[in-house]
Amino acid sequence: MCGIIGYLGYRDAYPILINGLKKLEYRGYDSSGIAVFYENGYTLYKSKGKVNELKKKISSIQIKGTTGIGHTRWATHGGPDDVNAHPHVSNSNELILIHNGIIENYHAIKIILLKNGFTFKSKTDTEVLVNLIEFIKKKNKLSLEEAVRISLNEIVGAYSIAIVEKYHPERIVIAKLGSPLALGINEREFFIASDPIPFLDYTKNVIYLKDGEMAILRKGEELDLRKIVDNHKLSPIIQELQINLKEIEKGEYKYFMLKEIYEQPKTILDTLRGRLTDGLIWINGVESNKNIFINAKCITIVACGSSWNAGLIGEYLLEELARIPVEVEYASEFRYRNPILEKKDTIVIVISQSGETADTLSALKLAKKKGVFVFGICNVVGSSIARNVDAGAYTHAGPEIGVASTKAFTAQIAVLVLLALKIGKYRLSLTEYRYNHLCQEFGLIPEKVNRTLEMIENDIEKIAKAYYNVNNFLYLGRGINFPVALEGALKLKEISYIHAEGYPAAEMKHGPIALIDENMPVVIIATKKGCYEKIIGNIQEIKARKGKIISIVNEGDVQVSMLSDYVIKIPNISEELSPLLTVIPLQLLAYQIAFIRGENVDQPRNLAKSVTVE
């Protein structure tokens, strides 16, 4: 979850590192640090807090050197402070390391090192790793790269690392297992980062290290890529990135989250482009595995967080349109509960924005080990999930910088709609009329999302001003909009720190109704085609207990509007496609409340964008 960066070349390293860390803060912002190397020495600074605190600390200091490494932290082992911040230094002060991931057997290694005279300043697993490398290097009189390779073969856990030796600043050794690591290559220089965004200004040529690979970067020399397990030399595969720099800038918006909410008409259109044309749906990963989808007897969707909520919507879609039984699993539970997966006629769908989510990646590997066909839905090209699935579909949402997912979520739903329609067409579980009607409506979704944003802005602002100071919210939905209620509650919790819960509306009377009083705002998704009469009954139950009703309704609604304290209107749409519209006001409401409360919308406390540790 942490962000790492490094540079080896001919430019001053410090500006590259500090600017790169700013772009990586979505991965963690508890503390940060840099080390810049010169001949026979280095300058190292660390600071608790965000990268700006580090920048202030060293603003008046000239830092020279063309080799450097940096880190922005999401705390795992040890609290967020200057001592636990990276980079970490070995006992001799000769090895300097940054690390993303968790070393699971660090305690056992630490005991061995303590018995051999090593001391520790921090509570991190990273300081244990850098001293293990030093111990093996000195005891066996090895080169740095060989000591790193042997040490990593003793490690249990996940890591992406970069390490530099004090007296050899012309060389950086990097390695990866389970945590992402991208290597940018330009003439006479190398860029290291957790993702390519920090070095897009300099190069679009990138190598994504695979699990179990390490690389030795030497100034002025070709890349040396190897297998960690046996030192076997590999031929690197260089990819050219297609990211536009404007996609990772806020532009006129105060926060990335707001920008990304308003980008959704475009990102959904990009997800549909080339896949939905004149009633025809084309998904390469499905077309090339047609018989697997036709003959599937069950589907298991595995994901975390907002992607899990998208998976729940996928369950409704696939069961309704393709008539295949679907189970939705939390990846963190799936991998530990010995799931029943039949090799024949079973499909596992894994969903992840980053394509690096540790629990989801482990679930993928478990399914593959059992011989099950795995289909991936993710946003990041070349990510670990994208490389390991049997087939899949990219969402094409573009870089999502705000920690709270918005456009990636709706892009995932769009792919799931395509998938359900396509499989339903294959399996003849849809009438020709229904299929064509939904395809036609689906093509209008980007325009309707744009119209929704135009319609709701003023209403959302009024509601946010009325309720920004409450302690609790309740979100209710039925059918395919129950997962939308979950997502709305999650968004509010993530960025405003107001306690919120999502429930199926009919379940309210089985417990949550005890919480309702005149101080409890209740957000109800009350579209006309989704158990509308039943929803009206639920609203009456809330009003009888003086709860405050905020309803999301279709244009032209009368009954629910009359019963509500606040009404948010969205365009009319088929129920199967409605989550793509109903979630928009919930995203914007969470944003507006957090903004009024003065919270950092893009970097909510304790969270990180890409969860690459368990």
Average pLDDT of span 439-462: 95
Q: Tell me the fold of 251-443.
A: Rossmann fold (3.40.50)
Q: Can you give the pLDDT at residue 398?
A: 87
* 3.40.50.150, 3.40.50.300, 3.60.20.10, 2.60.40.2470: CATH of 3-241: 3.60.20.10
What distance in Å separates the CA atoms of residue 25 and residue 12, rounded to the nearest whole number?
A: 21
Percent of the chain's residues with pLDDT above 90? 67
One-letter amino acid of 213: E
| Average pLDDT over the chain, rounded to an integer | 91
Q: DSSP code of 244?
A: -
Q: Can you give the pLDDT at residue 2?
A: 84
Contacts of 476 (CB under 8 A, 6+ apart): 485, 502, 503, 504, 505, 508, 522, 523, 524, 525, 538
Q: Tell me the fold of 454-603.
A: Rossmann fold (3.40.50)
Q: Can you give the pLDDT at residue 430?
A: 93
For 524-546, what is each residue's pLDDT tens digit? 999 987 677 778 888 888 888 88
Parallel, antiparallel or unpaired: strands 346-352 and 298-303? parallel
Contacts of 336 (CB under 8 A, 6+ apart): none
Q: Can you give the pLDDT at residue 132?
A: 97
For 403-444, what is each residue's pLDDT tens digit? 899 999 999 999 999 999 999 999 999 999 999 999 999 999
What distance in Å separates the CA atoms of residue 158 and residue 167, rounded to the nearest whole number?
A: 28
Angle at 363 between CA 23 and CA 320, to 5 degrees: 100
pLDDT interval class at 515 (50, 70, 90): confident
The 3-state secondary structure of 286-337 reads: HHCCHHHHHCCCEEEEEECHHHHHHHHHHHHHHHHHHCCCEEEEEHHHHCCC
- Cβ–Cβ < 8 Å for 419, 316: no
Question: pTM of the prediction?
Answer: 0.81
Query: Could you check whether 3-241 and 251-443 share the same CATH topology?
Result: no
**What is the sign of the dihedral through the CA atoms of 460, 463, 467 and 469?**
positive
pLDDT interval class at 341 (50, 70, 90): confident
pLDDT interval class at 468 (50, 70, 90): very high
Q: Can you give the pLDDT at residue 530?
A: 66
Q: In the chain, where are the structural domains located?
A: 3-241, 251-443, 454-603
Terminal alpha carbon distance of the chain: 10
What distance in Å separates the CA atoms of residue 318 and residue 321, rounded to the nearest whole number?
A: 5
For 569-608, what is each residue's pLDDT tens digit? 999 999 999 999 999 999 999 999 999 999 989 888 777 6
Active-site amino acid positions: 2, 609
